[in-house]
Amino acid sequence: MKQYFVTGTDTEVGKTYVTCHLLRAASKAQLKSVGYKPIAAGCELIDGEWVNEDAANIQQASGLALPINEINPIALKPPIAPHIAAKEAGVQLTQASIEKGLSHLESYQPDFLLMEGAGGWRLPLSIGNKTTPTHYLSDVVKALKIDVILVVGMRLGCLNHALLTAEAIRSDGLTIKGWVANDVTGNMSRYQENLASLCDMLPEPLLAEIPYQSEPAADILQRAIEQLY
């Protein structure tokens, strides 16, 4: 089984969009695929169950047909920072709970598993103080030693965001398997020049380029899966 953690340079950079494309491409390559979004904030009550739109999209894109609460076990109602939403709901965001959900999905023996984060790389699970450390979702990824896929939202400021995020991932001792350039605006000034700059500055391979609100070419996604699997 190949598994990766999908993170982004910020929130709203298309992590779920990219995750879904990769899951569907894996299924087309005859791989049993499944996505995992352990924590999601911003949910709607549907048939008595809190459902996050991103988690629902991942559920639909997965090759394995599983209940939403297995794809997204921690679903928090308000669309705010997860650690704040969890505190308001009386829920603890712990490494153990995230690992439990991951182990459950691994029991289905998928070929290809993508675990999608929330927000950026340093997403707080709990905020500490002078005597209690702050815990981040990246600490869980670090403990699990999962290789990372970095989604870069192609917009003004992305060079700084991408380089700092990649630097943080590497400093945590983790491997960036590759990165995806996702055009999130469709009107970024000097898009190609910025893309070329990222290709020069990031040593990891560009897995795929996702055009603005358009389906990427099937062969591009196929090559990405070949690099990942």
- Domains of the chain are 2-228 (3.40.50.300)
Give the active site residue among 2, 32, 37, 142: 37
Rounded-to-5 percentages of helix, strand, coil across the chain: 40, 25, 35
pLDDT at 116: 98
Q: In the prediction, which pLDDT does 135 show?
A: 96
Tell me the pLDDT tens digit for each residue of 142-198.
Answer: 999 999 999 999 999 999 999 999 999 999 999 999 999 999 999 999 999 999 999
Q: What is the pTM of this model?
A: 0.96
Per-chain mean pLDDT for the chain? 96
User: Which residue has tokens 């991932």?
Assistant: 169
The torsion angles phi and psi of 10, rounded to 5 degrees, stand at -175, 180
Q: Please give the pLDDT value at position 49.
A: 92
| pLDDT for position 215 | 86
How many CB atoms lie under 10 A from the CB of residue 197?
A: 15
Give the pLDDT mean for 4-13.
96
Please report the pLDDT score of residue 97 as a whole number: 96
Residue 180 φ/ψ, nearest 5 degrees: -120, 130
Q: Is the pLDDT of residue 100 over 90?
A: yes
Predicted local distance difference test score (pLDDT) of residue 102: 98
Q: How far apart are CA 83 and CA 74, in angstroms?
A: 11
9-61 tens-digit pLDDT: 999 999 999 999 999 999 999 999 999 999 999 999 999 999 999 999 999 99
- Helix, strand counts (H, E) of the chain: 9, 12
Task: Count CB atoms within 10 A of the CB of residue 89.
Answer: 15
Catalytic residue check, 37: yes
Report the 10 Å Cβ neighbour count for 65: 8
